[in-house]
Amino acid sequence: MLSSRSVHKKELNLNRPLAIPAYLEKTYWWAYVHPKAVSFFERQWLVNLILWGNFSRLRDAALNELGQSLPGKTLQVACVYGDFTNHLARRVAAGGQLDIVDVLPIQLRNLRSKLPENAPVELHHRDSTDLGFANASYDQAILFFLLHEMPEAVRRQTVSEALRVLKPGGRLVVVDYHQPGRGHPLRYLFRPILNKLEPFALDLWNNEISTWFPEGFAPAHIHKETFYGGLYQKVVITV
């Protein structure tokens, strides 16, 4: 069943106004909000380039962590340029469902245009800090390169919401930036670029993901793996 702010892939209903978060308007307007952003960035080779050639590797690391076949309900918080969601949707098991949340209608429309008609996917126009889904209603959730774009308070609330909607035993997979090792040239070359273009991203260099867990939250299990000399991380949190 669809809630009033939920939108099926075929019928994107965006009547309920939702404020665009200030950091998106101010810092990321060029990447997501501007009407020409989608036509510029929606290129597989470009998103791969932005991740220094690691897009497929990181996408598959996230998806393989979730599993080849995904029963039950899966939540992806925020749209992603490239083919991430198409690959994720293909893994949804018969009778399963993939819900995707984004705060920007332009991004939801773009995602809809990329997905096949029969994909078991529902699109939801919502803010990650106020998902509006029931407690313990998802089997797994994914945050793919979202947290580094957020100011700390928003990041904390987004992590809290993603954990809240997971069932006991459910897993949250986070893939994002991480501080590369001392011998990594990008540790020195990439820092000023990130600092300029993605001012919140260095928080993920300097802190563990667990820094933004809600107070009192104790995961049943947590596992971290790094990639590409430490520039990227995958953290899997079992509730």
Ligand X SMILES: C[S@@+](CC[C@H](N)C(=O)[O-])C[C@H]1O[C@@H](n2cnc3c(N)ncnc32)[C@H](O)[C@@H]1O
Chain residues that interact with ligand X, rule: CB under 6 A: 21, 24, 32, 47, 78-82, 101-104, 107, 127-129, 144-146, 149
Amino acid residing at 32:
Y
Q: Is residue 62 within 8 Å of 234, Cβ to Cβ?
A: yes
**Closer to ligand X by Cβ: residue 93 or 186:** 186
Measured from the CB atom, is 83 or 167 closer to ligand X? 83
Closest distance to ligand X from the beta carbon of 153 (Å): 11
Characterize the bridge pairing of strands 6-8 and 121-125. antiparallel
Strand partners, 226: 233
Residues 67 and 74: their CA atoms lie apart, in Å, by 11
Q: C-beta of 82: minimal distance to ligand X in Å? A: 6
Closest approach of ligand X to the CB of residue 169, in Å: 25
| The pairing of beta strand 97-102 with beta strand 166-177 | unpaired
Could you tell me how far CA 6 lies from the centroid of its own chain?
18
Looking at beta carbons, which residue is closest to ligand X?
78
Q: Do 232 and 175 touch, CB atoms closer than 8 A?
A: yes
For the CB of residue 9, give the shortest distance to ligand X in the complex, in Å: 16
Give me the least distance between CB of 106 and ligand X, in Å please: 8
* Separation CA 230–CA 51 (nearest Å): 13
Give the residue with the Cβ less far from ligand X, 122 or 149.
Answer: 149
Nearer to ligand X, 74 or 128 (CB): 128
Q: Which is nearer to ligand X, 26 or 221 (CB)?
A: 26
Q: What is the DSSP string of 6-68?
A: EEETTB----S--PPPHHHHHTSIIIIISTTHHHHH--HHHHHHHTTT-HHHHHHHHHHHH-S
Shortest distance, position 15 Cβ to ligand X, whole Å = 18
Q: Which two tokens stand for residue 28?
A: 């990321």
Nearer CB in complex with ligand X: 133/145: 145
